[in-house]
């Protein structure tokens, strides 16, 4: 089994230039005690500076999103080739905030996935159920649909560029975390679901991250679960000390 352990910080629409500079300095001053791969996703405007600033660091700078088209008249949007040209090789796709506030559907996300992968980018593909789905015991169906509709058209070979992030919407930015048992139950369901569609080796090698109010106080327990390979961290990634406490919880 060669699953990578990954902790990725999603800065969302936080940190202007000066704040980003400060946070990058603070991140550089922290020490990592393990073999976890670290990623950060600043806003588009701060990507290039972050890459230059982290040139001597092993922290990878990734984007929070990418457009589904190669180029063209799409005012305000950013293409995969633009990202690649400044050294961004990984992008988040399908975050619940994109799904909710920007109406990103399964079909649109499928196009984004294809465009990113055909530009040789890696993707962190996010999905997660809402509270009502869990209350109605419909969460496994929702997750199956989110994964299959946007990813199951992919050939096996593309999956080495895919990282999954299970992020129950009810746990994002709410301070409410899924219990480690709930997380493990869902992650093992996802791995089995991928295994049924593809094969054992592919699903064993797939990193599945958990996201939703991960903090220094709960990271260790969540990361100790068999099928949890790391985290996608929002709020706590805005503080370098907390972020590294999470990274060092593995
Ligand atoms: P949170 O965000 O850690 O602030 O809950 C997680 C995410 O949206 O990736």
Q: Summarize pLDDT for 164-222 with one digit per residue, the tens.
A: 999 999 888 787 778 999 999 999 999 999 999 999 999 999 999 999 999 999 999 99
CA of 199 to the centre of ligand 1 (A): 30
What pLDDT score does 10 carry? 98
Q: Which residues pair with 127 in a beta bridge?
A: 166
CA of 94 to the centre of ligand 1 (A): 13
Nearest residue (CA) to ligand 1, atom 7: 234
What pLDDT score does 242 carry? 98
CA of 64 to the centre of ligand 1 (A): 12
CA of 96 to the centre of ligand 1 (A): 10
Span 91-135, pLDDT tens digits: 999 999 999 999 999 999 999 999 999 999 999 999 999 999 999
* Gap between the Cα atoms of 127 and 84, Å rounded: 24
Which are the contacts of 93, defined by CB distance < 8 A and separation ≥ 6? 65, 66, 109, 112, 113, 116, 123, 124, 125, 126
167 has catalytic annotation: yes
- Looking from the CA of residue 165, the nearest atom of ligand 1 is 9
Which residue's entry shows tokens 């920007």? 102
Using CB distances shorter than 6 Å, the residues near ligand 1 are 10, 167, 172-173, 211-214, 232-236
* Gap between the Cα atoms of 24 and 54, Å rounded: 8
How far, in whole angstroms, is CA 234 from its chain's centroid?
A: 10
Span 17-73, pLDDT tens digits: 999 999 999 999 998 888 999 999 999 999 999 999 999 999 999 999 999 999 999
Residue among 60, 97, 167, 187 flagged as catalytic? 167
Which are the contacts of 94, defined by CB distance < 8 A and separation ≥ 6? 104, 109, 112, 125, 126, 127, 146, 150
Q: Please give the structure tokens belonging to residue 247.
A: 């990274």
- Looking from the CA of residue 171, the nearest atom of ligand 1 is 5
Q: Does the pLDDT value for residue 1 go beyond 60?
A: no
Q: In three state form, how does the secondary structure of the chain look?
A: CCCCCEEEEECCCCCCHHHHHHHHHHHHCCCCCCCCEEEEECCHHHHHHHHHHCCCCCCEECECCCCCCCCCCCCCCCCHHHHHHCCCCEEEECCHHHHHHCCCCHHHHHHHHHHHHHCCCEEEEEECCCHHHHHCCCHHHHHHHHHHHHHCCCCHHHHHHEEEEECCHHHCCCCCCCCHHHHHHHHHHHHHHHHHHCCHHHHHCCCEEEECCCCCCCHHHHHCCCCCCEEEECHHHHCHHHHHHHHCCC
| CB count in 10 Å sphere of residue 175 | 9
95 has catalytic annotation: yes
> pTM for the full model?
0.97
Best residue among 64, 213, 218, 246 to mutate for probing ligand 1's pocket (most ligand atoms within 8 Å of CB) is 213
């Amino acid at each position: 089994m060669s699953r990578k352990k990954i902790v990725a910080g999603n800065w969302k629409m936080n940190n202007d230039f000066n704040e980003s500079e400060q946070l990058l300095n603070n991140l550089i001053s922290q020490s990592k005690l393990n073999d976890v791969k670290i990623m950060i996703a600043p806003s588009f405007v701060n990507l290039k500076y972050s890459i230059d600033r982290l040139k001597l660091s092993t922290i990878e700078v990734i984007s929070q999103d990418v457009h589904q088209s190669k180029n063209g008249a799409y005012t305000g949007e950013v293409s995969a080739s633009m990202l690649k040209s400044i050294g961004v090789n990984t992008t988040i796709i399908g975050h619940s905030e994109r799904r909710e506030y920007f109406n990103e559907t399964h079909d649109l996300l499928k196009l984004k996935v294809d465009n990113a992968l055909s530009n040789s980018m890696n993707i962190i593909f996010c999905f997660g159920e809402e509270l009502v789905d869990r209350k109605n015991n419909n969460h496994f169906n929702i997750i199956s649909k989110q994964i299959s509709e946007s990813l199951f058209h992919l050939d096996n070979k593309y999956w080495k560029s895919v990282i999954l992030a299970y992020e129950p919407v009810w746990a994002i930015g709410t301070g409410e975390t899924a219990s480690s048992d709930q997380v493990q139950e869902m992650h093992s369901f996802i791995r089995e679901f991928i295994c049924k569609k593809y094969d054992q080796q592919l699903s064993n090698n797939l990193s599945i991250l958990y996201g939703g109010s991960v903090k220094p106080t709960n990271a260790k327990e969540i990361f100790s679960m068999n099928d949890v390979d790391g985290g996608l961290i929002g709020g706590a990634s805005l503080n370098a000390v907390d972020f590294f406490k999470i990274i060092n919880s593995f």
